[in-house]
Amino acid sequence: RNAYCGRVATISADGWPYVVPLLHVFDGEVITMHNTAAHGHFRLNVERDARACFEADEPVKVFDYGRFECDSGLAYRSAIAYGRIEIVEDEGAKIRFFDSLLAKYGTGVPGRPKNFYPRLNEVTVYALAAERITGKHCPLPPVSEQWPALDRTKTPNAKAPG
């Protein structure tokens, strides 16, 4: 729900994966996103094969766990949703999507008309119904468990050159 940007992957006619980053809204079951109304690579893939996956991640911080520069880790959270994606045709559903999108991403600057979408027909809204969601995370260890306070190098007997 809170991830800034996600990446949706579709399958092209020749079997190659195609990944595109998109802003999104997730309601717990459906991930909704938008793109141009043009029949580009993404839309052609969706029209040909509805199978897709959506990945979102939140990097936290790179941390050191050992005495060598390569002994570094990344604290993060990520999720991947697998499902079938469809084009949202209903104008009311498209408006509700943009209302939710701007609630998440909008700047809230006063004086700009809200709930006004003059280019609604120039975009395509997509909805991915999540059939399965997986996720993983690597929490940031406390400072007392990071190097130099604690040396957890993976190659303790290695000697740096020089």
Backbone phi, then psi, for 135, in 5-degree steps? -160, 165
Token match 């999720």: residue? 79
The pLDDT of residue 89: 96
Query: Average model confidence (pLDDT) for the chain?
Result: 94
If we measure between CA atoms, which residue out of 123, 127, 129 comes closest to residue 35?
A: 123
pLDDT surpassing 90 at residue 162 = no
**Residue-wise pLDDT tens digits, 137-159:** 999 999 999 999 999 999 989 98
The distance in angstroms from the start CA to the end CA of the chain is: 49
The pLDDT of residue 108: 85
pLDDT surpassing 90 at residue 130 = yes
Question: Mean of the pLDDT values across residues 71-92?
Answer: 96
Q: Bigger pLDDT: 3 or 103?
A: 103
The pLDDT of residue 84: 98
The pLDDT of residue 52: 98
The pLDDT of residue 132: 97
Q: Residue 95 burial by CB count (10 A; 0-12/13-18/19+): exposed, middle or buried?
A: middle
The pLDDT of residue 156: 87
Question: Mean of the pLDDT values across residues 93-110?
Answer: 94
Query: 131: how many CB neighbours lie within 10 A of its CB?
Result: 11
Burial 24-51 (b: 16+ CB within 10 A, else e): bbbeeebbbbbbeeeeeebbebbeeebe
The pLDDT of residue 1: 81
The pLDDT of residue 18: 97
**Residue-wise pLDDT tens digits, 7-40:** 999 999 999 999 999 999 999 899 999 999 999 9
The pLDDT of residue 160: 86
Assess contact for 76 and 59: CB atoms under 8 A: yes
